[in-house]
Amino acid sequence: MSVSSFVGQLPYSFSGVSYFEWVLDYGVSHHMSLNSSSFAYMSHLPFILIMTVDDTLTPLASVGFVITSHLFLLNVYLILKLTLNLASVGQLCDSNDYLVIFSSLFCV
C-alpha cells in the first residue's frame, strides 16, 4: 500500500507523478529520490549497488538531505533510475521528527 502526498508542481517523471511528489512506502529501507535538484546537500559515495523490488541492481549516486515546503528528510538516497520519490515509513518513524498515523480511512 502506498499513499502519496502532494508537495510540488511540474515537471513530471515517466510515471506521471511530479518530481516533487513523494510516495510513502513501507517496503523501502531508506528515503529515495530520482531528482538531484531536490537535494539541499549531497555527499558522493563510493560505488554502492541498491537492489530494487524487482531484484534489479542499480547504483546509489549520492546520499543527502531534501528540504521541501512540507518535508525535511535526512539520509536520502539519490537513485537516478527511479520513477518515483519514495519516503520510507520506517525511516520516518525512527527519526522522531514525525508522527505517522495510519488507519483504514487516512494516513497522517
Domain harbouring 27, CATH code: 2.40.70
Q: Using one digit for the tens of pLDDT, what is the confidence trace for 43-84?
A: 988 788 988 878 889 999 999 999 887 788 999 999 988 888
Kindly state whether residue 82 falls inside one of the protein's structural domains: yes
Strand segments (E) across the chain: 2-5, 22-25, 31-33, 39-51, 57-67, 72-78, 85-88
Kindly state whether residue 106 falls inside one of the protein's structural domains: no
Higher pLDDT, 59 or 99: 59
Kindly state whether residue 108 falls inside one of the protein's structural domains: no
Domain carrying residue 16: 2-95
The model's pTM is 0.75
CB distance 23 to 3 below 8 Å:
yes
Number of folded domains that form the chain: 1
Kindly state whether residue 28 falls inside one of the protein's structural domains: yes
CB distance 59 to 51 below 8 Å:
no
